[in-house]
Amino acid sequence: MEMSTDWGNAVVVDPRQLRGLTTSNQSLRRARFFLNLAVVILTLGCVVTVGTVYRQAQHIARLTQDVREHRRHAERSSAALATLARSHDNILAATEQAPSVGTRSWGRRFTVTKYLPRSPDYGKFNDGLTATLKKADPKARIVAVDPKLIPYGSWVWVEGIGWFQAEDCGAAIKGFRLDILTATDKEAAEFGRQDRFAIVVPPADA
């Protein structure tokens, strides 16, 4: 049986060209491998960079919050020191203005309130006189004290208010309590109950 061979459409390939194509294909494969490797490395680098930036951003945010907290703490400390300095200056000024500050004089913080002359809150026997039988006149700068702690006739300086004389007492005025005689309900209500430093100068030292 004869085989017909039609060589009219045959393509003749030069072996050298075939080897060149094979080499080019191998080069392209290697290039694609290295390109893929580069993409992987670049992606990992981006992930690491993003993670580092995120951590640094969190660290910066924490540092910023710490700075704010320290600033607020410093402001509060400065305010407290300023208040303490003013109190110290006031105390020094008070001791300079005192009739006499002797060895038995002393000072500490008291709970301070204000009361009214002839107030019904002090009972039906409130006759407008103090415990030492002085007229309960707010202009006389009278303070009610616990006589077991502060003798009548003592001078008492109250921080931010000034000097008063201990000439009265009250059922609720026990221990480290001071009740300053004032003129109106409004003044007493607005003052309320406050914690203030006071200096006591007993009669023997005054």
For residue 24 the two structure tokens come to: 């080019």
* Burial grade of 95 (CB within 10 A; 0-12, 13-18, 19 or more): middle
Fill in the DSSP letter of residue 179. Answer: E
Class of domain 100-201: mainly beta
164/174 Cα distance (integer angstroms): 18
Question: What is the model's pLDDT at position 168?
Answer: 92
84/61 Cα distance (integer angstroms): 34
Q: Are 181 and 144 in contact (CB under 8 A)?
A: yes
pLDDT (tens digit per residue) in 136-148? 898 999 999 999 9
- To the question of pTM greater than 0.95 for the whole model, the response is no
Q: What is the C-alpha radius of gyration for the chain, rounded to an integer number of angstroms?
A: 47
98 compared with 189, residue with greater pLDDT: 189
121/189 Cα distance (integer angstroms): 13
Q: How confident is the model at residue 16 (pLDDT cuts 50, 70, 90)?
A: low
Question: What is the model's pLDDT at position 92?
Answer: 57
For residue 117, give the nearest of 171, 185, 176, 177 by alpha carbon.
185
Question: What is the model's pLDDT at position 157?
Answer: 95
Quick check: helix, strand or coil at residue 143? strand
Indicate whether 49 pLDDT > 60.
yes
Domain boundaries, the chain: 14-97, 100-201
* Cα dihedral across residues 52, 53, 56, 57: positive or negative: negative
